[in-house]
Amino acid sequence: MKTILITGGAGFIGSNLCGRLLEEGNRIICVDNFLTSSKENISSFLENKNFKFIEQDIVSPLFIDENIDEIYNLACPASPVHYQNSAIHTIKANTIGVINILGLARAKNAKIFQASTSEVYGDPLEHPQKETYRGNVNPFGPRACYDEGKRCAEALVFDYFRTHNLKIKVVRIFNTYGPNMAPDDGRVVSNFILQALKGEDITIYGDGNQTRSFCYIDDLVDGFIKMMASEDQVLGPINLGNPDEFTVNELAQKVIESTGTKSKLVYKDLPIDDPTRRCPDISLAKEVLKWEPKIKLQVGLVKTIAYFKSKI
């Protein structure tokens, strides 16, 4: 049995990861400050003797008595609405917070997995995005707290590897969706599904021709576990995401078809620095991790719609 620390474990991705790793027989220590996550996401684990919860922000140093084998650092607001509302805190989580977690990993001699993001590519000029692309990020725009924060976090993780020979794993996560997404986090999939289920207007930002590639949560969690289990020389960064690319208009049509809603489309202003196109090149994940997503958007949407229906 491994002891695995998951920071941000009550969030959308974190809680799905906690569930899977508990099922696989591990002991989980989940740390979260509930800034953008919810107690409900982890309520079903609280009775499990292999699950321990610590309410804490990683910006404060974390002291843990027991041995830890692996750490997944997922602690950070991740939706544009949330990270822009907590911009300075987002930078702190990705700098001070990441240094705290790296220090803990060193003290425990634990392997550390850092959740990075497709946002390190900014509004990409290369398409699809390969890990070798250095990105097109606005360093002082409203998304910079997250984009530059995550870029700095990558730099820190690699410096701890070079300086202290820490075992590191870095993945760049592309748009992901599924059960346990926060209904209020303003992301396109959760917004569209909730609007459709409530019969409200579906809000398309800009002309809706911008693209994203949506990965279902179960596929992403598979990728995380494969990355953590990969050989020590596999450091990353490795893209994890679904390479099927859709425009926001196409996504809206799929949500309309899957819910049978009578909601109308309304067009609103495009947020500043909203990337025009985003699609991962996952050749590296295929080759090194033998991983690729299996769940088609249509199938994942049906599961996610069922989840949100049960919540409203």
Q: Which sequence positions are flagged as catalytic?
A: 146
Q: Which of 187, 196, 227, 285 binds ligand UDP (CB under 6 A)?
A: 187
Which has the closest alpha carbon to 112: 294, 231, 235? Answer: 235
Residue 212 found at the interface with ligand UDP (CB under 6 A): yes
Q: Which of residues 229 and 266 has its CB atom nearest to ligand UDP in the complex? A: 266
Record the tokens describing residue 253, joined without a space.
């049509």
Q: Which of residues 12 and 51 has its CB atom nearest to ligand UDP in the complex? A: 12
**Residues 12-71, interacting with ligand UDP (CB under 6 A):** none
Q: Which of 14, 77, 80, 300 binds ligand UDP (CB under 6 A)?
A: 80
**Residues 152-181, interacting with ligand UDP (CB under 6 A):** 175
Q: Which of residues 41 and 175 has its CB atom nearest to ligand UDP in the complex? A: 175
Q: What are phi and psi of 92, to 5 degrees?
A: -60, -45
Residue 204 found at the interface with ligand UDP (CB under 6 A): yes
Type of residue found at 76: C
Those residues with Cβ within 8 angstroms of residue 12's Cβ, 6 or more apart along the chain or in another chain: 37, 41, 78, 176, 178, 180, 181, 182, 185, 217
Which has the closest alpha carbon to 57: 76, 82, 80, 38? Answer: 76
Measured distance CA(205)–CA(269) in Å, rounded = 5
Q: Which of 76, 225, 248, 255 binds ligand UDP (CB under 6 A)?
A: 248
Long-range pairs for 229-232 at CB < 8 Å and ≥24 separation? Answer: 230/169, 230/288, 230/289, 232/167
Q: Name the minimum Å distance from CB 303 to ligand UDP.
A: 18
67 to 4, 61, 71, 243: CA distances (angstroms): 9, 16, 11, 38
Which segment (10-18, 24-32, 163-171, 202-210) binds ligand UDP by CB under 6 A?
202-210
Q: Which of residues 142 and 186 has its CB atom nearest to ligand UDP in the complex? A: 186
**Residues 253-282, interacting with ligand UDP (CB under 6 A):** 270-271, 274
Measured distance CA(162)–CA(196) in Å, rounded = 49
Q: How does strand 168-173 pair with strand 70-73?
A: unpaired
Q: Which of residues 57 and 147 has its CB atom nearest to ligand UDP in the complex? A: 147
Which segment (19-27, 182-190, 218-226, 234-242) binds ligand UDP by CB under 6 A?
182-190
Which residues of this chain interact with ligand UDP, rule CB under 6 A?
79-80, 175, 186-188, 191, 203-205, 210, 212, 248, 270-271, 274
